[in-house]
Chain A
Amino acid sequence: MTELPAPQAGGKKLGLVIDLDTCVGCHACAVNCKEWNTSGHSAPLPDFSAYQAEPSGVWFNRIHSFEVEDGGCGRTVHFPKNCLHCETPDCVTVCPTGASYKRAEDGIVLVDADLCIGCKLCSWACPYGAREFDDDAGVMKKCTLCIDKIYNQNLAEADRVPACVATCPASARHFGDLGDPHSAVSRLVAERGGYDLMPEMEYRPVSKYLPPRPGKTNGGGAGAPARLDHVQQGGENKFLRWVDRLLSR
């Protein structure tokens, strides 16, 4: 059913919180996601020409790296990106068969691979590039928020988190109910000023991004200068001036 579900009383809004301040760009989350999805709901994820020229495959999680001019100093920000399980996503409403749907009880957006005809229109509707087409199976695939893991009674309670969240070594990924203002993730978003990607699209993403914290510029209290000044040309130390001239030839 590709009409969006009516908001449910007591319904959850499950999503992720990505901390751009602590992400180190290791891609562990992407790898673990790929591994988890070799079985389960979306299995298998294809890899064409995996060890030959021009490999190509479906990954639900992609880690980009951006450079930001942060007050004159370049700053690297690693940027993991996967489905944001938006509240009002067009990727659900454009689907002609009802294969793309949003669950009312927890807000997870999924693709029913048995109904999908592979028209690819949903991927055109996603501004974030969260959906990738499986050329082998002929259907669209995307992040499932590890729906086959978070509700899996065969796993210990502590393991019922998405694969990407469980594996992050920098604790840069958090999972929870963003519809509950008192949940840990909601408080994190409120504290750190978590934001939506491309809010002008009005898809109302549920998953939020935490901005990088301001960089330290006081040398951590060790007395180090914020910037290294150039060596003074007319400085007092004659020996150093002579060395400078020697080396400048």
Chain B
Amino acid sequence: MHPALSIILFTTLSGMGYGLLFWLGLMVPLWWLPIGAYTGLAGLAVALLFVTAGLSCSSAHLGHPERAWRAFTQWRSSWLSREGVASLLTYVPALGYGYLWFTGGDDRLWSLAGYASAAGAVVTVVCTAMIYRSLKTVRRWHNGWVVPNYLALSGASGGTWIVAVMAIRNEISTPRTALAAAAVIAVAAALKVGYWRFIDQDRSGSTIASATGLGRLGQVRLLDPPHTEDNYLLKEMGFQIGRKHAQKLRRIALVAGFAAPIVLLIVTAVTTETAAAAAALAAALVMTVGVFVERWLFFAEAKHTVTLYYGASTA
């Protein structure tokens, strides 16, 4: 599948934002993340900035962005519509959470707004992942690894940003939060490696025989494609990445997306003040690059059944 820049930016940025929103909305009211109001509000601002930037990127993908409001109407059947509705609704408790935090409003209402924001973040990321997971046409997306991976990467990348904000604000609980964030990244890494192993081994899926129905006569191969030049189908779904290329990019994603941030978060935990802030910010930025590469691969390594009509024997 063609890795469209607008979609990759959308899922990575909004994923980071929702991950950050999740930790802020859940952990702070539970007293598992004792941070001051200004730190919290800074984190919230960063989260909503990422989410909004991501959503704006997604509209750049559209042929008619001025009609994008129509995308909220078919939530009964469409995961894309559900994601739109969830993303919009999540702004409500998130902004309420921020407002009550800023004004020092009712504690219980503030907590509820936090939990609702966290829930909204989870629901939105699940809806995003389900858009891909529900597509029967792409075997490498149509499996049980995709939703957990989206959630874990959202939480892991959002986690690095909460640590960065805390370290810059010199919060006391930065070291143990940094180590917790490192643990979350480790979980995400395990899920990612599991996914890659699954797609490398998976042999189920459609074949050129079932796509043409000619398997009953014998071996089938493409003799002549229907056109000599590219068309929309080949440009959008014919994208192929060589195995060696993919392996190299997987290694880059593992290093930048998982190994380096874990190391930098450990550095954050054992240092203080400026050094910790620098290490934490570096961890967040490196993780962002890593998640971007991972998402690019998620698209590039996906095979669509339409390729069966253009020379592929399995998809």
Contacts and interface: CB of A to CB of B under 8 A. Distances in A.
Interface of A: 1-3, 20, 25, 30, 54-59, 62-71, 75-77, 79, 81, 90, 92-99, 115-121, 123-129, 132-135, 137-139, 195-202, 209, 211-212
Interface in B117-163: 131, 134-138
Given A64-B226, A66-B222, A127-B206, A117 B79 contact: no
Interface of B: 1, 61-65, 67-68, 70-74, 76-81, 84, 131, 134-138, 206, 208, 210-214, 216-227, 229-233, 236-237, 304-306, 309-310
B226 A63 contact: yes
A223 to B, nearest CB: 27
A62 B224 CA distance: 11
B305 A198 contact: yes
Contact of A94 (B80, B84, B208): B80
A116 B63 CA distance: 8
A117 B137 contact: no
A73 to B, nearest CB: 9
Nearest to B59: A117
25 contacts: A3-B74, A54-B230, A56-B229, A62-B309, A64-B309, A66-B212, A66-B214, A66-B221, A68-B214, A69-B219, A71-B217, A75-B217, A79-B212, A90-B134, A95-B77, A117-B70, A119-B62, A120-B63, A123-B233, A124-B138, A127-B206, A128-B211, A197-B211, A200-B210, A209-B213
Contacts of B232: 56, 58, 123, 132-133, 135
A78 to B, nearest CB: 9
Contact of A3 (B65, B76, B84, B216): B76
A124 B70 contact: no
A7 to B, nearest CB: 17
A117 B63 contact: yes
Contact of B64 (A79, A126, A139): A139
Given A58-B232, A211-B214, A95 B78 contact: yes
B60 to A, nearest CB: 11
Contacts of A123: 232-233, 236-237
A117 B65 contact: yes
Given A54-B230, A66-B223, A97-B71, A138 B218 contact: no
A119 to B, nearest CB: 6
Given A69-B219, A75-B217, A211-B216, A201 B206 contact: yes
A91 to B, nearest CB: 10
Contacts of B217: 68-71, 75, 77, 211-212
B78 A93 contact: yes
Contact of A2 (B78, B220, B229, B304): B78
Given A66-B220, A116-B63, A201-B136, 17 more contacts: A56-B232, A69-B217, A79-B309, A93-B78, A94-B131, A95-B77, A95-B80, A115-B70, A116-B64, A117-B71, A121-B78, A128-B211, A135-B63, A138-B62, A138-B64, A200-B206, A211-B216
Contacts of B84: 96
Contacts of B226: 30, 62-64, 81
